Amino acid sequence: MAETRPHLPEAPAAAPLPEAADGPYDPTAVEAKWYRFWEDGGFFHADVEAVTSGEKEPFVIPMPPPNVTGRLHMGHALQDTVQDLLIRMKRMQGFEALWIPGQDHAGIATQNVVERKLREAGQDRKEMGRETFLQHVWGWREEYGDIILQQKRRLGDSCDWRYSRFTMDEGFSRAVQEVFVRLHEQGLVYRGEYLVNWDPENQTVISNEEVDNVERPGSLWTIRYPVVDANGQDTDEALLIATTRPETIPADTAVAIHPEDERFQHLIGQRVRVPVGDRLVPVIADEAIKMDFGAGALKVTPGHSEVDWEIGKRHEIEVLSIMNLDGTLNELAGAYAGMERVAAKKQIVADLDAQGYLVKTEDYTVTTPISSRSKAVIEPLLSPQWYVSMAPLAEKALEVVNDGTVTFYPARWANEYRRWMEDIRDWPISRQLWWGHRIPVWYYTDADGEIDESREFVVSVDQPEAGMVQDEDVLDTWFSSWLWPFATLGWPDPETETEGAAMASPEALKAFYPASVLVSGYDILFFWIARMIMAGTHFTEAVPYRDVFITGMIKDKQGRWMSKSLGNGIDPLDMADQYGADAVRFTLAVLCAQGQDIKLDPAKFEGGRNFANKVWNASRVFGRYIETDRDGRPTTDAKRTRAFADLSLVERWIVTRLAETVASVDASMRSYRISEAANTVYDFLWRDFCDWYLELIKPGRDESGEFETMDAETLALAVEVFEGALKLLHPFMPFLTEELWWKQRPRHAREALIACDWPSPDPAEQDAEAVALFATVQDLVSAVRQIRAQYGVAPSKPVAVTVSVGGDSAEATAEALESVRSYIERLAGVDDLVIAPDASKPPASAAVVVDRHQVFVPLAGMIDLDAERDRLRKEIEAKRGFLASVEKKLGNENFVSRAPEAVVAKERQKRDDATAEIAALEANLADLG
RNA sequence: GGGCCCUUAGCUCAGGGGUUUAGAGCGCUCGCCUCACACGCGAGAGGUCGUUGGUUCAAAUCCAACAGGGCCCACCA
């Protein structure tokens, strides 16, 4: 759709061809200009019309929206590399590719950041009030919110920025509230007072998924609870109770033992005296108690423990809540009221000890729940919150993964997903924060403006009646993120123009939803990925995306998580400055093997840098023969005129290899084997294109040191093949490839590489025989080089070589090799080459067996006979070992009769070849005397 | 307590029933500033694919157990 782009900028001038003295490729100069060209030129734009008209298939990736407080880290760089790779590739393959960027408002994180900043300025959130505080947050977002999006541009992310959404923008907010209203109407959202994970630091509830369980050294105290008689007087008996949390003793409302515990049968139904506060509580029996833990009795504290809450429910035990929201004890804690929980714990233990109730204190490893946000110790607390019933949503979400509508890559993540979905819990969605989507619940007020509890609340996006007040709480951040793939496109109401939704329209929603792929880390599989699938199937009756590609997580060199506190983070932008964004991308792609975590050593980016440099230099070999104007723009459009059959052997070989590479890259990418695809492109360019093809076609210099010319046809083919390689490489290294692209031919701005068609090689232009013959050339060249290296023949010194051609069709092979003798001469430094079937060995020559052929290099006076004999003996020995293994196989009746014929034939071929080679080697050995 | 992953060359990792007797990058050894590239070129050394069993004509590859390492989930107070 290039034609529809209004003001195509001129392509930036290509830098003049560097001279050798210029040193290595400098990405900084090159990378700066292209992003602007692409962005200004609208190359990232996805056109709705192209899809609705049926002209193109959509390919859509919703970018995991980074937090507004976020700064680009290696995890982003990895995931963005994968996403941009897919987007650029699909775009070139003719899809209307849309990568939707945006940002997440990140409730707690952002509120904390802004609050901290205000505190530094001596201001307090609570003093300034909700409205003023929110203004500060929006101001903060104005100022810093775009930083991470700018950082993503540096990496080359080709997202359509026009589609960018913020989860707090007007339309998105309406979608969030609409979802709450709908769920309420469907009976799937409810308010309830249960034990929640309370973060006393942030003073908000958080969900189970936001709690980390950490093992910490602590103590296990054993405390005596006296059994009392009918009159409430202490008897001689007592239950010993082990606890790690004595500060909750004031909230004990029962003591429990196992129903089958012989020791305490007679106590069931009796009462004990809680040694703090002297309350009398019943002894109950419950299966959940472990007889062998501590002394076999558990204090039941339903107000402050999840397990106890469950036990309490079963036995209708009273619930006491002794803690305030800030973590201090309340008046129900009696003497300890007002104390902070840690201080209270110490004091209670000291008092129990003084009063003789403390039986013993042991060191004990306590599993402590920690808020992943504030790192504060979570307090299970009774609190009224809003919940979503998840089971009905999970059912459909499970189905679409089970029936393959959604596919996970790697597949094992589908199992993790299932496991979670099958055992899902309701989701507490209210948060006691200010920054976020206000819960759309409205209350009637009385004459004093207080909430009138006697009247039913109303759930509605807009204020239902004047004078009603809205619920103070906001919704969990993930309650907006789970709508990301469709709310970004304007769902549920794309007709209504809302701020921040420039591209939303019914057509866009229809064209670009569902998305194609989601790329994310497994750390948010449950937080986000699973919930999006639930939201998609529930609200839109569609899956949000067909494929889910789960990347590994980036760790440091030693395998530890990168964190601010460890200071072991590697900044992708530093790396981009140091090595180039292309190098960062390519390196990450190479490291992106399926699903494994990546232990990243910054030195690894050198590999990507070296490759960029290699490609850059390769272009110079033939690039110097392309005529250009003063701005470095090519002035001629050399196209090959020769038919494929008329190409030289190495040309037919490289064209075939390119075709094979395209097929291989396509296959790898189809199954998200990113690293495999990257390595395939790398090998083609470095091993095939540079090491062999360029070495053969590059002109030398004549006696006076002037470059010889390159003929137009050779140049045309080099440009053609290199362009194919640039296309393959472009999704990995967009900047470098775009730069080199413009050095090849005169082009119109719309023919930027980013907008090019993906290579689709002509099946007629592939030549398996050329590949086979060239492989022989490569082997012969290597053989000569081997001898040269072994005997220390200076690279500058030419040698004479005799190739004794063997095998079944020696005559034909010799003839074919004869036609490309110059390759061998050139690459192996040969000045006198004899190629003949069964040529005899020149005297005093070193010999190497290559397939059925032999390579002889006469080295009068240079050969160390003993060393040569040694080498030959070793080689013979190795070959014999190989032959033995093959013969063993062939001697196995079962193998011959049961293995496929082709496999057996292959083994026979191996045996025959090895036999012939051994014979040749032995002849050489004998010849040495 | 359940579940998942990893264990292959000195290091970091690919591969995942027969593709020569196992590959890459880095590191190492030897020789080269060969006029695209020393961020380079050529030639090498280096591994009984964690252990033990099994399935199979054939196992690094599939299965089981075990041993190390890591991760996730779970209410042991």
Task: Lowest mean pLDDT of A683-687, A703-707, A870-874, A889-893, name the range.
Answer: A703-707
- Tell me: the pLDDT tens digits for A773-811? 999 999 999 999 998 988 888 888 889 999 999 887 889
The distance from CA A865 to its chain's CA centroid, rounded to whole angstroms, is 57
Q: Distance from residue A803 (CA) to nucleotide B12 (C1'), in Å? A: 41
Q: Which residue is nearest to nucleotide B72 (CA to C1')?
A: A416
Which residue from A165, A158, A163 is spatially nearest to A36, judged by alpha carbons? A158
Q: Which two tokens stand for residue A253?
A: 């409302």
Contacts of A905 (CB under 8 A, 6+ apart): none
What's the average model confidence in pLDDT over A754-772? Answer: 93
Per-residue pLDDT, averaged over A242-270, amounts to: 86
Instruction: Assign A498 a pLDDT band (cuts: 50, 70, 90).
Output: confident
Lowest-pLDDT choice from A13-22, A261-270, A464-473: A13-22
Q: Which of residues 652-711 of A touch strand B (CB under 7 A)?
A: 673, 675-676, 679, 686, 690-691, 694-695, 698, 700-701, 705, 707
What residues have CB less than 8 Å from A801, skipping those under 6 apart? A784, A824, A828, A830, A832, A833, A834, A855, A856, A857
Cβ atoms of residues A373 and A435 within 8 Å: no
pTM of the model: 0.91
In whole angstroms, give the CA distance from residue A59 to residue A47: 11
Please state, in angstroms and rounded to a whole number, the distance separating the CA atoms of residues A611 and A614. Answer: 5
What percent of chain A shows pLDDT beyond 90? Answer: 43
Q: Are strands A234-243 and A430-431 parallel, antiparallel or unpaired?
A: unpaired
Q: Is the pLDDT of residue A2 over 60?
A: no
Q: How confident is the model at residue A503 (pLDDT cuts 50, 70, 90)?
A: confident
Q: In the structure, how far is the CA atom of residue A783 from the C1' atom of nucleotide B42, in angstroms? A: 12
* Closest-approach nucleotide to residue A851, Cα vs C1': B20
Under the banding of pLDDT at 50, 70 and 90, the label for residue A19 is very low
- What are residue A906's phi and psi, to 5 degrees? -65, -40
Q: At what angle do helices A147-155 and A27-40 cross, to 10 degrees?
A: 110
Flag whether pLDDT at A156 surpasses 90.
Answer: yes
> Which residue, chain included where needed, has tokens 């005997």?
A791
Mean pLDDT of A656-671: 93
For residue A301, give the 3-state DSSP assignment: coil
Calpha distance A118→A126 (Å, rounded): 11
User: So what's the pLDDT on residue A153?
Assistant: 95
Q: Which residue is listed with tokens 């405390």?
A: A223
* Hits for CB < 7 Å against strand B across A residues 291-310: 291, 293-294, 296-299, 305-307, 310
In whole angstroms, give the CA distance from residue A491 to residue A178: 10
- The C-alpha R_g of chain A, in whole angstroms, comes to 37
Task: Give backbone dihedrals phi and psi of A227, rounded to 5 degrees, phi first.
Answer: -80, 135
Q: Which residue is nearest to nucleotide B2 (CA to C1')?
A: A419
**C1' (B74) to CA (A255) span, angstroms:** 24
How many residues are recorded in chain A? 929
Q: Mind listing the pLDDT tens digit for each residue in A697-736? A: 988 766 565 667 888 999 999 999 999 999 999 999 999 9
User: Which residue in A145, A177, A10, A126 sits closest to A67, CA to CA?
Assistant: A145
**pLDDT of A109 over the 90 cut:** no
Taking the stretch 334-393 of protein chain A, residues with Cβ within 7 Å of any atom in nucleic acid chain B are: 366-367
Helix (H, G, I), strand (E, B) or coil at A798: coil
Tell if A245 CB is < 7 Å from nucleic strand B.
Answer: yes
Could you give the CA distance from residue A755 to residue A568 in angstroms, rounded to a whole number?
A: 39
Q: Which two tokens stand for residue A851?
A: 């397939």
Give the pLDDT of residue A701: 63
pLDDT band at residue A20 under the 50/70/90 scheme: very low
Nucleotide nearest to A24 (CA to C1'): B39
d(CA A879, CA A882): 5
> A721, A587, A717: which is closest to A660 by C-alpha?
A721
Q: How far is CA A287 from the centre of its chain?
A: 44
Residue A772 CA distance to nucleotide B63 C1' (Å): 40
Please enumerate, as own/partner, the contacts of A50-54 that have beta carbons within 8 Å and a separation of 24 or more.
A50/A1, A50/A96, A51/A96, A51/A511, A51/A512, A52/A507, A52/A510, A52/A511
- Protein-proximal nucleotides of chain B (any atom < 7 Å from a CB): 3-6, 12-15, 18, 20-21, 24-26, 30-32, 34-44, 56-58, 70, 72-77
Following DSSP, what letter does each residue of A72-98 receive, concatenated? --HHHHHHHHHHHHHHHHHHHTT-EEE
Does residue A514 have a cis bond before it (omega within 30 degrees)?
yes
Within A184-243, strands assigned E span: 189-199, 204-206, 211-228, 234-243
Which pLDDT does position A423 carry in this prediction?
83
Both structure tokens of A788: 């040269």
Q: Cα separation of A596 and A264, whole Å?
A: 52
For the residues A854-874, what does the mean pLDDT come to? 81
Confidence of residue A4 (pLDDT cuts 50, 70, 90): very low
A window 546-575: Cβ near strand B (< 7 A): 559
